[in-house]
Structure 1
Amino acid sequence: MKHRAIGAVLFGVGVLLLALAAGLVFVVTPALAKLPYDLDSSTSVAEASNAKFLQINDGSIKINDGNLRSTVLVTQLPKETANLTGDLDGKAVVWRVGQTVERVDNKQLVSAYGAELALDRVSGEALKWDGQWLDDAGEQDKGIRFAGQIYKFPFNTEKKDYQIFDRDLRAVRDAKFAGTENIKGIETYRFEQVITDEPLNLGDRLTPLLATFAPGATDGKVVYSNKRTVWVDPVTGSFIKVREVQKKVLTPNVGTPTTLLDADFAYNDATITASADRAKDSRDSLRLLSVYAPIGLVVLGLALLAGGVLMGRRASAVAAGEARHRADAPTRVEEPVRDADATDERVEVDRQGGPLSDEIPPASTNWRTDEESTVPAQRPAVDDEAEKR
């Protein structure tokens, strides 16, 4: 019974460990492979050397040359996230993103924008949300419709083409998978998006540009080109490195085109290192819960299952042996069978008594034997008449 009980316990624990391993793979890991609700703020810095850029300062519009630094700050908004309703509730998180571009030499601001948007927690795609807005011209544009990948790719990114949202175009364009590359110990997926001479909708902002750089023009346009390359950690979908080779050219209907922007922005080494470290931490956590822990639990669970089965078989074997032993052992001594006459003779002999006989002799009516008597004989009774005489 003891072996059988131990075997049952081992088998039960083994089943429990296998169930726990399945839970880690199919329940816990998918829950972790999502943007968290308590995401820490992150900053990424990209730098462009020897850039040509438009700078508007105190009403002065000029084309300058120099080094630029772009800083993007991403902050999660818990309150706005908690207020999401409908299909977005539990599916999305709200981010606030701000970017500034400044000159490295004198810290003067060149451009800036701010935005709030909702992102899918798994795919990283921008989702339709009534509260989204973009401000890149001093006024919030609440009619903006973010879509596609913007600041993140999906968890478990695939080797396929994706769409990346471009803020200048206010639309998505294809980003093609272009291969893999090891960056800071992470095998990243490289995606390339190429935008060539597409017109920008600047609205009223076009008028001062024409007045400054093409006074005789009555109309014109600004065409925009960008070769955007993104290196993505395929496990977490995080950007490890980003490079954008941007160009904007004012093309008036009369006069010479003017280059408003010609800059090659790329993440600096500190940003790449920080991005890789964050990705490694997330990868390690996911790998621990989705690979190492389940494998360990499965191995241990199978070992306990096998141990439980062996203990159960051993208990059965012991029980079977004991049963056979009881079946083979004599339980009582059989009396030999005799015929009736022999039985009667044995009874008669036994009745003769003897020192070892358990037969009780019949009671005697006389205390005196024939040879000798030690007890006086009883006198005969005398009738009443003789007694009186």
Structure 2
Amino acid sequence: MRRTASVLSLILLGSGVFALVFGQLLDRYVEPRVKRTPVDVVTDSVLTGTGSYFDAGALKTVQGKQITITRRIVGDVAAAERSGNAVWNVSTQIDTPATLPLRDPRRSLQWTTERWVTDRRTNLPVHCCGEQPSFRGDAYLKFPFDVRKRTYRWWDGVLGAAVPLKFSGTEKVLGHEGYRFTAAVPPRPTGVTREVPGALVGRPKQRQVTAEEWYADAGIELVVERRTGRIMNARIAPKITLRAPGARYDAVTLLASDGLAFTDATRRTQVAQTVRDSRRLELLGETVPGLATVTGGVLAAAGLALPARARRRQAAVAEGAQGTDGTHPGD
């Protein structure tokens, strides 16, 4: 019996120590290594809404038309493996009802390509690997892991500068709660110039004018999942215009909308990916380490307590035996 209790005690104690160590390994080593920006990504996000844009064929701004923004992200796995960073090639096209069916970014209203390089753990920009353009801030295509209720510096590619995004409460997207961040961008020059006919910007006496591009956004709203930093929903209200050099007022509206937002399909995809990744992080970073710690503590305590209980039981048996034969300790 004593040998059986001793073996059982060792098994319980060993299992408890193993569970405690396993929980700490998950919490301190495994989960932080899982909490990395993915590199093998291929995702599309689409925003739609109504607005106005400049029709180059008609040489005028048309109103009340559907505008579609499609952003495609493709991870450069080879560059990521060489550098240890997340390297994403990003294609963004703006389409009108006339260009959308063509499915050719070269024939869209506007098409830009970028190459973003970020630290996989912090999400901060890394200036290497053919990065284009060089950007600043701590949030762009996603937020850092473990999002906090604070202001983040959101990189606005049209403006070419970081915009402060303030925490504005919580919001549910398809039943899943996220942190809501908002910002507004007052009219600012983007630094881009365009050669246009002078008459187009109120300078009819000048054949060609180097017009200045200006940009504003009346309302940026992003709903972000806390653990992963993924954007579950997005709304923007951009306005891009042209002004004559030194002018104080817009002359031509190139693009404007009171609200472009993720399509239903994009929201469903974003939420599905977010829920999958969030549950994985929760499992490895909270649930399993917590259960392992509690279970390990209970098993280790039981393993330590079992020998003491066995000794007390043996002492009680011995004392009972002595009482039966009429002898007492010290006789």
1:242 aligns with 2:234: yes
Partners of 1:167 and 1:222 lie apart in 2 by: 14
Counterpart for residue 47 of structure 1: 48
Q: Which amino acid aligns with 2:36?
A: K
Structure of larger gyration radius: 1
Contact 1:127 1:147 in 2 (8 A): no
Counterpart for residue 76 of structure 1: 75
Partners of 2:321 and 2:237 lie apart in 1 by: 92
Query: Which of 165, 184, 187 in structure 2 is aligned with 1:194?
Result: 184
Counterpart for residue 216 of structure 1: 205
User: Is 223-232 or 72-81 further displaced after alignment?
Assistant: 223-232
Counterpart for residue 365 of structure 1: none
Within a 5 Å distance, the mapping from 1:115-154 to structure 2 comes to 115-129=114-128, 131-133=130-132, 144-148=133-137, 149-154=139-144
Query: Which of 23, 26, 29 in structure 1 is aligned with 2:25?
Result: 23
Partners of 2:310 and 2:49 lie apart in 1 by: 77
Contact 1:147 1:165 in 2 (8 A): yes
User: Is 102-111 or 319-328 further displaced after alignment?
Assistant: 319-328
Partners of 1:181 and 1:10 lie apart in 2 by: 46
> How much does 1:97 deviate?
0.5
Counterpart for residue 282 of structure 1: 277
Counterpart for residue 310 of structure 2: 315
Partners of 1:219 and 1:72 lie apart in 2 by: 29
Greater strand share, structure number = 2
Query: Which of 91, 103, 107 in structure 2 is aligned with 1:98?
Result: 91
> How much does 1:2 deviate?
2.1
CA RMSD of aligned residues (A): 2.7
> How much does 1:118 deviate?
0.5
Gaps of 5+ in 2: 103-107, 326-331
| Aligned-partner SS, 2:267 | helix
> How much does 1:36 deviate?
2.7
Identical-pair percentage: 23
| Aligned-partner SS, 2:191 | coil
Q: Deviations over 1:212-261 (max 9, x none)?
A: 44333556533211132111111110011111101122222579722222
Within a 5 Å distance, the mapping from 1:340-379 to structure 2 comes to none
Partners of 1:306 and 1:210 lie apart in 2 by: 85
> How much does 1:329 deviate?
12
| Aligned-partner SS, 1:200 | strand
Partners of 2:96 and 2:297 lie apart in 1 by: 63
1:145–1:182 CA distance, 2 compared to 1 (3 A): same
Answer 1 or 2: higher relative contact order, Cα 8 Å, separation at least 6: 2
Partners of 2:171 and 2:295 lie apart in 1 by: 37
Query: Which of 63, 72, 96 in structure 1 is aligned with 2:61?
Result: 63
| Aligned-partner SS, 1:145 | coil
Gaps of 5+ in 1: 85-89, 134-143, 331-389
1:199–1:118 CA distance, 2 compared to 1 (3 A): same
Query: Which of 255, 260, 273 in structure 2 is aligned with 1:261?
Result: 255
Q: Deviations over 1:315-365 (max 9, x none)?
A: 3235556877999999xxxxxxxxxxxxxxxxxxxxxxxxxxxxxxxxxxx
Counterpart for residue 149 of structure 2: 159
Partners of 1:230 and 1:284 lie apart in 2 by: 21
Contact 1:150 1:165 in 2 (8 A): yes
| Aligned-partner SS, 1:160 | coil
User: Is 245-254 or 211-220 further displaced after alignment?
Assistant: 211-220
| Aligned-partner SS, 2:71 | strand
Counterpart for residue 273 of structure 1: 268
> How much does 1:17 deviate?
0.4
User: Is 119-128 or 156-165 further displaced after alignment?
Assistant: 119-128
Q: Which amino acid aligns with 2:61?
A: I
Partners of 2:274 and 2:154 lie apart in 1 by: 20
Contact 1:125 1:153 in 2 (8 A): no
Q: Which amino acid aligns with 2:184?
A: V
Partners of 1:43 and 1:117 lie apart in 2 by: 16
Using the size of structure 2 for normalisation, the TM-score is 0.84
Counterpart for residue 225 of structure 1: 216
1:36–1:257 CA distance, 2 compared to 1 (3 A): closer
Contact 1:128 1:147 in 2 (8 A): no
Contact 1:125 1:152 in 2 (8 A): no
> How much does 1:177 deviate?
1.3
1:132–1:211 CA distance, 2 compared to 1 (3 A): farther
Partners of 2:131 and 2:73 lie apart in 1 by: 15
> How much does 1:74 deviate?
0.7
> How much does 1:12 deviate?
1.4
> How much does 1:96 deviate?
0.5
